[in-house]
Structure 1
Amino acid sequence: MRFRTVEMAYVALFVALSVVSIYLVRILPPVMVLGVSVPISLMPMISALAGALLGGRLGVMAMFLYLLLGLIGLPVYAEGTGGLIYIVSPTFGFILGYLLSAYVSAWLVRRKKSLFRFQLGMVVSLLPLYAVGILYMWAILGFYLHKEASLIYIALGMIPYFIKDVAVNLLFAVVAYGVTKRVNLAAPRVG
């Protein structure tokens, strides 16, 4: 698989945004959603945005490199963690879900780059992200940590996070669409 220089730069930009977003969570105040204090994680938005702006191949590559950086031990996961041990963390499934999120977003946006398609891609990309994340959490809690874990209760517990992510993704879909309309004429085609 060969990459042009501009493609490598775009992938590197999204990997860097992913890493920076993890540290932004520490300074951004949480929001209240349905009575739950929800931290402002930007990774669900960044993974969807990577797919929407870079296309499936490059968007997934950016999320894969982010995943790889954490697994080799760099502190790029939540709360500045990393390493192979993170594979048995209940939240690791969400990191795996970022790859699917980028792909789904790219697939929905690629045909017609309209505001509606950006919004659709950015919101629908949350479904596989949460599906993988919730199933992985359930499996790790139940089979590895031997804790009583109900799939329904885990999914219900994620509703405030999902609502926050839908709102953030809708907002950034509008921003991304506006940017692509202005930059598309000058920028080389990626994805």
Structure 2
Amino acid sequence: MSTISKPRFRAVDITFVGMFAALMAFGANITSWAPFLQVANIPLSMQPFFAILAGLLLGSRLGAISMTVYMLIGMAGAPVFAQFSAGISPIFGGSGGFILSYIATAFIVGKIVESKSKPALTTFMIASFAGITTIYFIGTNYMYFAYNLWLDFDMGYATAWKVMAWFAVKDIMFTIFGALIAPRIYHTIKRTSRISSIQTKAS
């Protein structure tokens, strides 16, 4: 007797992954029209907000996949990184660690939300701050090592963190905002996914 295996990705999953990959591209370049909104060649962006939101709403698996898809699209040549850059070089630049951190962030955030069968606002808040901490830890340390090891730029470790302090207020505000709006969207997505699963089984 032959068995029919369940599809690994449903249409709704692919839609959400694509949507967040697109949001990351938008978030990376929202301030590209204003070159003065930069510190150490790193532009202000909405990417931390969307990366955390991906983990909150899509979970660890799909959230991390959406961030990976975003990174791969940029590496393949689409101008989706900050300042409409693309290719491999941005990964090895000062902000490359942040691109990599978004994958880990979405995964960790998603895991925290998934640890509760019915996550409350407190869970979303804890997950969100775990996410922004992950972004800053990976991104800032990567920036420090990138500048000092292969970009031929002398930057002290304390200086690297001082640079990122310029972004902290904005990111903390958006982290709180994301945690506050996430619960209602989360339950809407869950209902949509549940309906999609029922339709898939019935077809």
TM-aligned CA deviation for residue 40 of structure 1: 4.6
- The answer on 1:73 being equivalent to 2:77 is yes
- Kept in 1, the 8 Å contact 2:32–2:82? The answer is no
- The answer on 1:85 being equivalent to 2:89 is yes
Counterpart Cα distance in 1 of 2:86 and 2:132 = 23
> 5+ residue gaps in structure 1?
32-37
Letter in 2 for 1:80: F
> 5+ residue gaps in structure 2?
1-6, 197-203
| Equivalences, count | 183
Q: Closer, same or farther in 2 for the Cα pair 1:99/1:184, shift >3 Å?
A: closer
Q: Closer, same or farther in 2 for the Cα pair 1:136/1:40, shift >3 Å?
A: closer
- The answer on 1:187 being equivalent to 2:185 is no
TM-aligned CA deviation for residue 145 of structure 1: 1.8
Counterpart Cα distance in 2 of 1:62 and 1:53 = 12
Deviations 1:10-69 (A, max 9, x none): 1111111111222322368999xxxxxx96511101111111111111000000000101
TM-score of the two chains, using structure 2 as the length reference: 0.82
Query: Match for residue 145 of structure 2?
Result: 139
2:191 is paired with a residue whose SS is coil
TM-aligned CA deviation for residue 128 of structure 1: 1.6
Matches of residues 5-154 of structure 1 in structure 2 within 5 Å? Answer: 5-26=11-32, 40-112=44-116, 113-154=119-160
1:158 to 164, 178, 181: 164
TM-score of the two chains, using structure 1 as the length reference: 0.86
Q: Closer, same or farther in 2 for the Cα pair 1:22/1:87, shift >3 Å?
A: closer
**Percent identity between the aligned chains?**
28
Counterpart Cα distance in 2 of 1:16 and 1:88 = 22
Counterpart Cα distance in 1 of 2:189 and 2:67 = 23
Letter in 2 for 1:170: I
Counterpart Cα distance in 1 of 2:126 and 2:162 = 23
Letter in 2 for 1:77: F
Counterpart Cα distance in 2 of 1:176 and 1:13 = 16
> Could you tell which deviates more after superposition, 156-165 or 6-15?
156-165
Runs of 4+ in 1 over 6 A off after TM superposition: 28-31
